[in-house]
Amino acid sequence: MERTAIMAGGLVFAAALASPSLAATAQGPRSVQLIDRVVVVVNDEVITRHDLGKRARVAAAQLKRQGASLPPQAVLEKQILERMITDRVQLQFAKETGLRVDDTELDRAISRIAGENKLSLQQLRAALERDGVAFTRFREDIRSEITIARLRERAVESRITVTEGEIDNFIRTQQ
């Protein structure tokens, strides 16, 4: 008797699991909608079609505001993708080497950007939102730009060597 109840319960459970899939096939085939796709993988990070499209739209809007002519969409996207890949590699290297930009320095840079554009911080935020750029995204983009600039400075500084003789010669010529 108990065994029959367990079997009956198991059949009810199996039927419940099968019913959504049966109902779905009874409705006929559904169209598949592509939400996003991976364009490229940079080490362990992906760049999606959505990311690339968003960057391309922002770049196109900036070029229009500057009065520059727009390249064909395929050319623009190729250039943007190359830049995104380069940036990702550099940011990954910066992270591996411990190079980071703290919030205080980032806030100063954003205040400087607002000042250079004769805007208050609130006005800058509003202008960004009007252009469809979230302020948090803007902050992280600025953080990335500062990080990459520092990484490049460090690479250049490591290649520059000035000998004692060169310093002595320079001092003599300046006297």
| Bridge partners for 48 per DSSP | 38
pLDDT at 168: 82
Instruction: Check: CB of residue 76 under 8 Å from CB of residue 60.
Output: yes
- In sequence order, what E strands does the chain have? 38-42, 45-48
Indicate if the pLDDT at residue 39 is higher than 70. Answer: yes
Indicate if the pLDDT at residue 2 is higher than 50. Answer: no
Which residues, 6+ apart, have CB-to-CB distance to 11 below 8 Å?
none
Cα 35 to chain center, whole Å? 18
Rounded to an integer, the average pLDDT of 43-65 is 91
Instruction: Check: CB of residue 141 under 8 Å from CB of residue 131.
Output: no
**108-129: per-residue pLDDT in tens?**
999 999 999 999 999 999 999 9
**99-161, CATH topology level:** Triger factor/SurA peptide-binding fold (1.10.4030)
Confidence of residue 31 (pLDDT cuts 50, 70, 90): confident
**35-98, CATH topology level:** Triger factor/SurA peptide-binding fold (1.10.4030)
- pTM for this prediction: 0.66
Indicate if the pLDDT at residue 171 is higher than 80. Answer: yes
Rounded to an integer, the average pLDDT of 50-72 is 91
Indicate if the pLDDT at residue 64 is higher than 80. Answer: yes
**Nearest of 91, 61, 86 to residue 76 by alpha carbon:** 61
**125-145: per-residue pLDDT in tens?**
999 998 888 999 999 999 999
Q: Are both 35-98 and 99-161 of the same fold?
A: yes
pLDDT at 28: 52
Indicate if the pLDDT at residue 29 is higher than 70. Answer: no
Torsion angle (degrees, nearest 10) of CA 4, 10, 12, 14: -150
Instruction: Check: CB of residue 99 under 8 Å from CB of residue 154.
Output: yes
pLDDT at 140: 96
Which residues, 6+ apart, have CB-to-CB distance to 145 below 8 Å?
none
Cα 44 to chain center, whole Å? 14
Phi-psi region of 118 (alpha: psi -120 to 50; beta: other; left: phi over 0): left
Rounded to an integer, the average pLDDT of 158-166 is 82
Structure tokens at 121: 């911080």
Indicate if the pLDDT at residue 22 is higher than 60. Answer: no
Rounded to an integer, the average pLDDT of 26-51 is 82
Residue spans per domain, the chain: 35-98, 99-161
